[in-house]
Structure 1
Amino acid sequence: MEKDDKKLNVVSLVGIIVSAIIGAGIFNLPKEMASSASAGVTILSWLIAGLGMGSLAFCMQNLSNKKPDLHAGIFSFAQEGFGDFMGFNSVWGYWVSVIIGNVAFGTLMFSAIGYFFPAFGNGENILSIIGASLILWLIHYIICKGLDNATFLNNLVMVAKLIPIIIFIVCVIGGFNKGIFFHRFWSMNTDNFYLPDVVHQLKNTMLVTVWVFIGIEGAVVFSGRAKKRSDVGKATLLGFAAVTVIYMSITVFSYGIMTQAEIQSLPNPAMAYILERVIGKPGAIIVNLGVIISIFGAWIANTLLAEEVSYQAGERKLFPVIFTKENKNQVPVNALLITNIIVQILLLSFLITDEAYSLLSQLSSATILLPYTCVALYQLKLTHTEKSSDSTKNYIIGIIATVYMFWLIYASGFIYTILTILTLLPGAIMFIYVKKYYKQKVFKPYEIFIFIVIAVLFVYGMTQLPVLMKM
């Protein structure tokens, strides 16, 4: 059992959330949004994302308060509500998502370093792989020294990375041009509001908004290591509110500095070149330094999330027992090592595509939709069975979150749905191995049906893979 001084207070929990959420994505966010939507649609997109992800945050807060015994991260809600196999698929999807996200961090970090040292190029060459590998194992070493040391460093980095973000927001507000902002407000092709086009643009922004909100569950993942259970829900809502305001400010005001066409054609990280337009060369320097600092903190936070959730899955007999080993500093060393070995292997993806960051960030968003959806559905199930005085409010929150999650699954599109499906069957094989190891019945009757569906979809996905490679 951990000593109380080793446990996390509300500041550390908020720090993990903010660092995990505000990472690589924020510094390229204007470009990612402008590639999908106009200024007007971007505003609508953030309102929808704020409502949907806000409802999910409230679900997490409510479930944390109502089920304090479920302290193994968001996948424990899926396991409690829908059985071991759905619990496993939830944690598997989450773990894969965070691992892929860490690989995406590597390419954007060295794209920023490439601004100062051109040999790194756009962050997707051999030199960048070597550099990202060194950062990966430095973070591994820091975390092995103890959770308290890692979270303390994470909090320092969180403060440091907010400085360039605040400078950016102040400068773009000061340089805001109303004429540029309202030019082609609803579309790149017309000044008029055309509903089918607006809906199409909204759909294209959905995975972008999910990607930048990944990490909202950080306090829930570490709920078992929190000093006070009540801090978990409080930290979740505080972290969500802070980053939503920051995201909206950065993306919306950027449209008052450059047109949508200009923003979407910028190199990575786009914020550097937008700020350069306002205050000159120092703007690009400030943002690129911010990217490097920010990604380092996000990489620490996300690695903490990945090792903790896989460790907790091992504790709940969903992952192999090897994941449960801790060192003298109470760090799950095997979970950490396995996670980072996979990240190391995936860093080679830098050599496969010129758009590694966009591909990885959207795939990370797609694979996390299953665990998020299970949280929303469990909120509805618990509310239905509990019948408490706040049932009406909890029903509304659960319905909004569930509808939003299904909308995201639809909006993620064919490619990312298929790629997500392709990750599930390898996980199911590991689930079968773990059940056999513990001499437990592998599947309940309804879980056999789920497994068959996954297997059929996997075969279908494999037949579609050649098509996907050409898209």
Structure 2
Amino acid sequence: MSDDSRTTGSVVTKVSLLALTAMVVGSMVGAGVFSLPRRFAQETGVAGALIAWAVAGAGMLMLAFVFQRLAIRKPDLDAGVYAYAKAGFGEYTGFFSAAGYWASVCVGNVTYWVLIMSTLGQWFPGLGAGDTILAMLLSSVGLWLFFILVRRGIKEATAINLIVTIAKIVPIIVFVLLALFVFDPAAFAANWGGADYAGNLFDQVRGTMLITVFVFLGVEGASVYSRHAKRREHVGRATILGFASVLAIFASVTIVSYGIMPMAEIAELRQPSMAGVLEAAVGPWGSVFVAVGLIISVLGAYLAWTLMAAEVLFVAAKDRDMPRFLARQTDRDVPVNALLLSTLLSQVVLVVTYFSEDAFDFALDMAAVMTLIPFLLAALYAVKLRLTRETYDGAKPSTLRGDLLIGILATLYTGFLVFAAGVSLVLISFIFYTPATILFVMTRREQKRRVFSPGELVLFVVVTVIAIVAVIGLVTGWITL
């Protein structure tokens, strides 16, 4: 069955390098940047923060290079994160990558609404920290309003994202400049070594890794949305340009905050903690200023992530790796069923967060953990290509050495992230994969194929056992949300 028989056959909308770069920046600059001061202060001081950003920056740069090179060497693979796993390690593994990445995006979307409600909760107590019934209901309304907006058309949505991305960078830059203006060297020096509760320096750095993963989610945005690029080389350029810009922003926001107030006080701020830091620096208007910037930023990032979530499911369905109903498009190039399923999953996660101890941190950490397997598989695929020399005919020795080093470093970094996440979060993430396999089963039955090969069946059993262990852990209490 051809792709055309499963879609409307509409022309794919093409976007420029600037718009593609804005997609990457817009995807990363969202809820996470506004939560950085508190999350870092809870784990480490200035020294640990500098090391953490160096590690995260270097590791994510390797991943960015991986996506850049794979976009060039495998231009036929769209929705890169999912497609690379499939090409390298088989259909079922590719399905896991697609499902995990899609889930991470949907969970990440929930953090946006929780943070918006927490921000408004400063003035409307009924919203609490974004974890009350009223906050959940209002967030649900927001979910479905954005569903309607994106359903109107991809072209219109990406145009809005470009405008919002430019607009939301301004408040963050202003925050950094104002913080530098009132910067207190004595406070900065007192915050240098971290606190006793944070443990040794290695543990401090390890404790920051999930938040750095979360804020960098979206570095692969250009690769995921590659079929809309006007020129294929724009995918790699947009990835690197977006990454470099955002790394500078994130590190600056974190470090300057240590020069405003004691880290113990920063660690106790409500989210968005950037608002509390600026309020301490310039007065109450600082909190309002950050709140406005946050809402603009978060809504823009939510738009970008919604597009990416639907895109992953849509392209997987076109490649016959998801049920064909997810490949349906409207005449405006919108994968409507993929968009609907993404919104439904976000709605479910939103309800689950209500029962967690800290709705924002739980959603943030789960979004980060769910993306680790897709990232790891992409890095491993880059190593596999180099070792098999596929696409490397006639390559220079320096290219061979450089690409192998990049792939290995990216693999080691993502492996370290799995370790840093901890057993509990990794186990909880597997609860999603077993029921998600229903989509894989539907796909195979549509194609009148055997549901599982022997190897796939073994993988399914292993994943199911891990999921059962996680459920038992939640029921008995040794794993908590």
What's the TM-score, normalizing by structure 2?
0.93
Q: Aligned AA for 1:353?
A: S
**Local SS of the residue matching 2:62:** helix
Which residue of 465, 474, 477 corresponds with 1:467? 477
Question: What code does the residue aligned with 1:67 have?
Answer: K
Cα distance in 1 for residues equivalent to 2:470 and 2:217: 25
The answer to whether 1:217 aligns with 2:220 is yes
Match of residue 25 from structure 1 = 32
| 1:184 CA drift (Å) | 4.6
- C-alpha distance in 1, partners of 2:183/2:325? 54
Q: Which moved more, 1:113-122 or 1:8-17?
A: 113-122
Tell me, yes or no, if the aligned pair for 2:353 and 2:363 is still in contact at 8 Å. Answer: no
Taking the aligned partners of 1:450 and 1:111, their CA distance within structure 2 comes to 40
* CA RMSD between the two structures: 1.7
> In the alignment, is the contact (CA less than 8 A) between 2:11 and 2:333 conserved in 1?
no
Q: How far apart in 2 are the matches of 1:445 and 1:261? A: 54
Structure 2 contact 10–331 (Cα < 8 Å) conserved: no
The amino acid of 1:170's aligned partner reads L
- State the one-letter code of the partner of 2:464: A
Instruction: Confirm whether residue 324 of structure 1 aligns to residue 327 of structure 2.
Output: yes
Give TM-score scaled by structure 1 length: 0.95
Deviations 1:43-77 (A, max 9, x none): 10000000100000000000000000001331100
Residue 318 of structure 1 and its aligned partner are, at CA, apart by: 1.6
Match of 2:103, SS state, is: helix
CA distance in 1, matches of 2:442, 2:49: 45
Contact 1:113-1:292 within 8 A present in 2 as well: no
The residue type paired with residue 224 of structure 2 is V
The aligned runs of 1:91-240 (5 Å cut-off) are: 91-189=98-196, 197-240=200-243
1: CA distance, partners of 2:219 / 2:129: 29
Given candidates 377, 383, 386, the residue that maps to 1:383 is: 386
Aligned residue among 335, 338, 343 for 1:340: 343
Does 1:8 find its partner at 2:15? yes
What SS does structure 2 have at the residue aligned with 1:122? coil
Query: What is the aligned partner in structure 2 of residue 243 from structure 1?
Result: 246
Deviation at 1:349, TM superposition (A): 3.0
What are the equivalent positions in structure 2 for 1:235-274 lying under 5 Å apart? 235-274=238-277
Q: Does 1:422 align with 2:419?
A: no
Partner of 2:412: 403
SS of match in other structure, 2:281: helix
User: What is residue 6 of structure 2 aligned with on the other side?
Assistant: none
- Residue 276 (str. 1) matches residue 279 (str. 2): yes
Report the CA distance between 1:229 and its aligned residue: 0.6
| Pair 1:292-2:295 in alignment | yes
Question: 1:17, 1:217 within 8 Å by CA — same for their partners in 2?
Answer: yes
AA in 2 matched with 1:432: V
Would you say 1:35 and 2:45 are equivalent positions? no
- Does the aligned pair in 2 maintain the 1:74–1:221 contact within 8 Å? yes
Aligned to 1:346, what secondary structure does the other structure show? helix
Is 1:314 matched up with 2:324? no
- Report how far residue 16 of structure 1 moved: 1.2
CA-to-aligned-CA distance 1:198-249 (integer Å, 9 cap, x gap): 1111111111100111111110011011111110000000010000000000
Say whether the 8 Å CA contact 2:67–2:80 is kept in structure 1: no
Residue aligned with 1:74, SS: helix
Query: Percent identity, aligned pairs only?
Result: 36
Distance 2:76 2:480 in 1: 47
Please tell me the residue identity of whatever aligns with 1:42: A
The one-letter code sitting in structure 1 at the alignment partner of 2:113 is G
Matched AA of 2:266: I
Once residues 8 and 184 of structure 1 are traced to their aligned partners in structure 2, the CA distance between those partners, rounded to angstroms, is 45
**Residue aligned with 2:477, SS:** helix
Map of 2:467 onto structure 1: 458
d(CA) in 2 for partners of 1:401 and 1:346?
29
Q: Which amino acid aligns with 1:30?
A: P
Unaligned stretches of 5+ residues in structure 2: 1-8
